C-alpha cells in the first residue's frame, strides 16, 4: 500500500483525510493549526512536524490549501514538497487555484520524476464529512489510475477531465456558472420582493420555465429562503473564485464581462461585512441595500 501524506487540514481537508483514516489508509498529516492535527490524530492519522517530513515519507501527497500563493510555496517553494518528495511519488493538489500555477508546478514535478494531478473539489464541507465529495481531476492516465482508489474513499463522484490542468479549469467553469447564477437569482428575487410578489408563487412559475437553475431550486430552498446563511460556500470564497475566473479568462483572451461585474457585487458584499455568510445571502445583501424585506418561506 502507498504511504499517504496529507497537507492542509482546514474545513475541507480534515474531513477528507479523516475518511482515508476511517477506511484503513495510514495517513501522515501536517497543518500549521495544532488543533486540526489533534483532531485528525484522534481519528488515526500520524502527526508530521513539517511539510518536508510528509513529502519525504509519502508515496502520494495530497494538498488542500487556501490559495495559489500558499500552494506555490508549500509545493514548489525552497523547502516545499517537490524538494523533498521521492522520485516516482505523486502530488495531488485539491485546492482551487490559478491554473497557471498548476501548470508550472506540474512542469517542475515532471522535471524531478514526480507525478502531478490537480483534483479540485466540488460540493461542500458537509459532503466531505460524509465522504461524498466530487473531484474534477486533471492527470495523466497512469497517475489517475494510481490515485483513483484514494479519491473513491473521499468522494462519490470522480471525473477524469483530461491531462494536468483540466481539473482546475473545469472547476473554474463550473463555479463561474454556480456563482454568477447565485448573483442573478439574488437580483431577480430582490426585484420580486420590491414588486410585492408571493415568493412561493414566483418560484412556482420560475421552476416551470427555463429560467430555473440548480442554485435557486435546490440550494436556496434549504439555505437563505429558510433564513439559513451559515456558510456552506462563503461570499469570500465566491469572490476568490470569480477573481481566479476573470484572471484565467483574461490570460487566455476570453472576455467575461458578466463574471467581472459579479465579482464587484461580491466584493461590495464583503466590504459591508458579509464575507463569511453563505453566498446565497447575496439576496439579503441586496435587500438590505434597497430596504426591502428579505425573502423567506412563510
Q: Which residues participate in catalysis according to the annotation?
A: 171
Structural element, H or E, at residue 148: helix 141-154
DSSP state letters, 24-91 = T--EEEE-S-HHHHHHHHTTT-EE-SSHHHHHHH-SEEEE--SSHHHHHHHHHSTTSHHHHSPTT-EE
Strand 4-7 to strand 27-30: parallel, antiparallel, or no bridges (unpaired)? parallel
Q: Measured between alpha carbons, how far is 229 from 2 in angstroms, rounded to an integer? A: 41
Structural element, H or E, at residue 204: helix 199-207
- Taking alpha carbons only, the member of 65, 4, 10 closest to residue 29 is 4
Residues 164/117, Cβ–Cβ less than 8 Å = yes
Amino acid at each position: 500500500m502507498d504511504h499517504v501524506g496529507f497537507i492542509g487540514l482546514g474545513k475541507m481537508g480534515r474531513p477528507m483525510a479523516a475518511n482515508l483514516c476511517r477506511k484503513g489508509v495510514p495517513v501522515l498529516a501536517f497543518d500549521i493549526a495544532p488543533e486540526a492535527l489533534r483532531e485528525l490524530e484522534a481519528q488515526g492519522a500520524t502527526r508530521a512536524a513539517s511539510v518536508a517530513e510528509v513529502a519525504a515519507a509519502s508515496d502520494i501527497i495530497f494538498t488542500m490549501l487556501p490559495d495559489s500563493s500558499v500552494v506555490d510555496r508549500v509545493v514548489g517553494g525552497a523547502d516545499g514538497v517537490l524538494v523533498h518528495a521521492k522520485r516516482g511519488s505523486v502530488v495531488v493538489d485539491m485546492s482551487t487555484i490559478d491554473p497557471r500555477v498548476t501548470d508550472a508546478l506540474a512542469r517542475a514535478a515532471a522535471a524531478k520524476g514526480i507525478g502531478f494531478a490537480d483534483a479540485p473539489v466540488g460540493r461542500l464541507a458537509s459532503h466531505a464529512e460524509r465522504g461524498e465529495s466530487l473531484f474534477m481531476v486533471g492527470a495523466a492516465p497512469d497517475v489517475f489510475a494510481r490515485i483513483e482508489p484514494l479519491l473513491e474513499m473521499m468522494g462519490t463522484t470522480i471525473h477524469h477531465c483530461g491531462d494536468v490542468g483540466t481539473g482546475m479549469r473545469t472547476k473554474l467553469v463550473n463555479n463561474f456558472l454556480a456563482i454568477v447564477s447565485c448573483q442573478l437569482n439574488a437580483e431577480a428575487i430582490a426585484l420580486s420582493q420590491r414588486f410585492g410578489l408571493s415568493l412561493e408563487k414566483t418560484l412556482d412559475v420560475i421552476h416551470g420555465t427555463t429560467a430555473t437553475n440548480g442554485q435557486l431550486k435546490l440550494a436556496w430552498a434549504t439555505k437563505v429562503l429558510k433564513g439559513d446563511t451559515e456558510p456552506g460556500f462563503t461570499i469570500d470564497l465566491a469572490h476568490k473564485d470569480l477573481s481566479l475566473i476573470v484572471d484565467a479568462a483574461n490570460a487566455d483572451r476570453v472576455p467575461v464581462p458578466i463574471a467581472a461585474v459579479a465579482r464587484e457585487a461580491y466584493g461590495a458584499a464583503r466590504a459591508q461585512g458579509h464575507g463569511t455568510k453563505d453566498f446565497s445571502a447575496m439576496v439579503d445583501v441586496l435587500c438590505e441595500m434597497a430596504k426591502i424585506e428579505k425573502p423567506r418561506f412563510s
